[in-house]
Amino acid sequence: MRSEVQGYFDSISLQYDFQAPEWKKLPHLIDFFRKANGLVLDIGCGSGILREGYPNSIGVDISPRMLMIAQERGYVTVQARAEALPFLAKTFNEVLIRQVLHYCHYPRQVLEEARKVLIRSGCLRFSSNFCPHGPRLTFWRVFKLATQPLRLHLFTKTDLLNLIISAGFKIIMQESFRIPRSVNLSLVYQPCSVFPSYERFIGWVEEQLDSGIINQDKLNYEDAILTYWQNWLILEAKPS
């Protein structure tokens, strides 16, 4: 049965490259993933937008329409869930997971599958944005309800590191950084039980901004456009 996540990415497949989020355009991130070599498995490859750096690769995604575009880029593609990879153990030299875990019901299982298909000396290349601890985390969790309802998880950096270690990896390199991101609240708002109307949502956002709760994150707010710092983690890990 087609999931909501699959349906969403099917529906945006033709616009995906043109509306690619900021992280897909960052030279720093692109260079990090393009260091992959050998036989590479790209979990959640989407449209294959970064394929040029690792031609000897297989892309996995749940969206058949995304995979059609990836095939046009030369990807060998397989439609599958990240929690159930259809590959033999110890097959790949490198596995890439780029901003995928928050859409998966069982993120640890995704990482365990990645470890299973890596050769013993293989490498996991991983990236994700993450949220701060404390009251700021509470704000972003509530904010997500009306802006990214298909996003199942909001991770802190500690959450991500613990997940990767518990799945059987040893982290050999990690780096955190921030990038500015802008969202037009009138465009991303989606009705939900907490905020059944846009007016209630925007009122809550502005009340929270006035309280200073995300002053460490906020860069600017004007005409319903919120610009803020988004935290990012990239890392390399080996099967332990």
DSSP string, 106-127: -HHHHHHHHHHHEEEEEEEEEE
Measured between alpha carbons, how far apart are the two ends of the chain, in Å? 35
Q: What pLDDT was estimated at residue 79?
A: 95
pLDDT tens, residue order, the chain (240 aa): 457 888 877 787 777 776 665 556 677 888 888 888 899 999 998 888 776 656 688 999 999 998 998 888 888 999 999 999 999 999 999 999 998 999 999 999 999 999 999 999 999 999 999 999 888 999 999 999 999 888 889 999 999 999 999 999 999 999 999 988 899 999 999 999 999 999 999 999 999 999 999 999 999 999 999 999 999 999 999 999
27 within domain boundaries: yes
Q: Which domain holds residue 116?
A: 4-134+152-178+231-239
73 within domain boundaries: yes
Q: What pLDDT was estimated at residue 1?
A: 42
171 within domain boundaries: yes
42 within domain boundaries: yes
How many domains, in total, are found in the chain?
1
CATH of the domain at 107: 3.40.50.150
146 within domain boundaries: no
Q: What pLDDT was estimated at residue 35?
A: 87
78 within domain boundaries: yes
Task: Count CA atoms closer than 13 A to 14's CA, side-chain side.
Answer: 1
Residue 118 to residues 111, 131, 205: CA-CA distances in angstroms? 11, 29, 43
65 within domain boundaries: yes
Residue 206, C-beta contacts closer than 8 angstroms, at least 6 positions apart:
221
Q: How far apart are CA 125 and CA 110, in angstroms?
A: 13
pTM: 0.91
109 within domain boundaries: yes
Q: What pLDDT was estimated at residue 112?
A: 98
